[in-house]
Amino acid sequence: MLGASALAITGCATTYQEPSQTDAATIVFRKAGDFTAQAFIYGGAAECTERHHLPVMDAAKEIARKVTPNAPLSFSMFYTKNMLVAEKFCVDTLTFTPEATHRYVALLSVTDGRCHIDLNDTGTPAAPFASPAPVSSTEHTWKRAMGEQGPFCGS
């Protein structure tokens, strides 16, 4: 049942290709708890189209990917947990504009069955010990699109 639900959410998404530019930003997708999580990066930020999946985080608590700076970026993170007879899952989706060489942490937490992503800027290689700062972002409702091209952002 867990596999069927994960397949319904993930579908047949393509693998994300990182940009090769030297000033790329980095986003770390992290989960706050003992659950399975996965992140998706959308090629079309405006409506969450062209979904690209990242590896499932089972035992791993985080994964990092380079992203194109100075352009809007939309991503989703989903939570799933098999509770013996029932399975629980939720999805949260954000859009923000990463800055060149900055490192961001997207922390997925789940409270009362609802997903929430806290997005923080942790600085640049020139200032590696900067205090994390909340990032201005837009939250979207997630909707299941008819295919991997989307759109996955709801109203």
Is 11 within the bounds of a domain? yes
| Domain CATH code at residue 36 | 2.60.40.2890
Cα 109 to the center of its chain, rounded Å: 12
Let me know if residue 147 belongs to a domain.
Answer: no
Is residue 20 included in any domain, yes or no?
A: yes
Answer yes or no: is 82 within a domain.
yes
Residuewise pLDDT in 10s, the chain (155 residues) = 444 444 444 455 577 889 999 999 999 999 998 888 999 999 999 999 999 989 999 888 999 999 999 999 999 999 987 656 556 789 999 999 999 999 999 999 999 889 999 999 999 888 767 788 999 998 888 777 767 787 888 76
Mapped onto helix, strand or coil, the DSSP state of residue 35 is coil
pTM score, whole prediction: 0.84
Domain ranges, residue 105: 2-140
Confirm if 130 and 99 have CB atoms less than 8 A apart.
no
Residue 148 lies in a domain: no
User: Is residue 146 situated within a structural domain?
Assistant: no
How many folded domains does the chain comprise?
1
Residue 154 is assigned to a structural domain of this protein: no
